[in-house]
Structure 1
């Protein structure tokens, strides 16, 4: 009698992963055990995969080689908990539909009498709090994961599918060539298996991570950026590499000011730029971990409000002039 199931779940954030694991355990017979395995396992009884990655070569290869029961995980609150065809919609308010599906598709019918079946009343009671305690990752949480070297390879995806593969150790990125990428509120990340990495990077162009992120973040109007206030002070520690476009000159001026450590409102006034442009620059730099907020005593850039075009501005122009000559602009 088989009383252990090998279950693989792929492509979810850690919060969603923990929630679904708990709901599966509550849905199965009490005396049935589960081994949580990865995609390299030779014998998988059940595969749950984020719908964004279902057509990935590694997933399709696994399904062609093994006779695996599977569900595609689709985040859709209005259908939460239901199973339609091969799609399981999450988050799960309860495990009723999942439990029925597992007993029909995964647990052999000939062995059902050997198991102690969990009551649905208990399942409902224990599952209810989980939908509250496990929110999706915020944009800032996703970017924090991107810049932790020990994470190795991670995948970026949104509601429409795979976006890019990131090597957090070397800060390189391989981008989905079939999409024009803009980030939005559905941006998320998950860890990548060795097979997924191999399939993704083979014969693909690689980019510098921070250069690519700066470009994409600045072209993503629907993205949630960190909150920044004009009264804060900011220091730029790493200069972004700017695209050769109409914004580049303004970006260079802003970067020159903040490289010294500056009061944000002073930079806006000195350069005569809009609040939106300066605040957006700082927000992008914070998100990409290119700088940090500082105390007033760390501010080195100052302006004379009566002589904005002299003093510090002359020094700034001189600095920018040297920078432009060095860059051949």
Structure 2
């Protein structure tokens, strides 16, 4: 069993205690919840009264602990149990939205994907074209997700599995307004690119990415949201370098990673419109520049050494 640490902020003790029981009932199988305070230890997930989210102390804590996931709490009996734009509405007794949200954030099981369906990349490209309005992702007439291409949001069926997403039977078409309305009332809402990254990254080895030349340069135009994992530190290093424009070989050296790891990162960020190839002269980090700086520093240190010996220093 995996333990998740959590805390509730900004509610009175009675409301907080009642909500804890409801949240515990929504925990995915294989997890147990431990309630803590911020002074005890770093938490995995925070439930914050929406009136307190912008307070200085909470904002400072979130900036100092970027790995922490959080939901804002707002009282709304009509929307009880729903999650909309990172807002969890209470009171509720059985929230499928919360269960799906927790599973999405904390259940990191690499899908057993041997081959990526040929049409999947095409579907993703269509999802990122704003003029496509609403798209319907389905399998055997069952709606799995509704994509709002204009706002880059997705309404996901709570029970959607990794296997369904990578199934060769997956289909996509334009969505009628009736399906869109039905999905908005039942499906879980998420940021489209964050949702796609969290689905695609664990299956990255199955993609047939083209070979990249070590001297090619890329720039990150939008940061993916990296979930807590053993690769997160490496991903953050690569993202930080590519954010300013970097040569592939430079990133491999500086982040101490393989060509395959960089290729997978570039392929997925390109697929999701998060990075772009740039001319070498626009890149901030180049191996050639580092070698030149090292050579210049060596010459300078040599001259300085000779000067010290002449002056008897």
TM-score, normalised with respect to structure 1: 0.47
TM-score, normalised with respect to structure 2: 0.50
- Find the structure with the greater CA-based Rg: 1
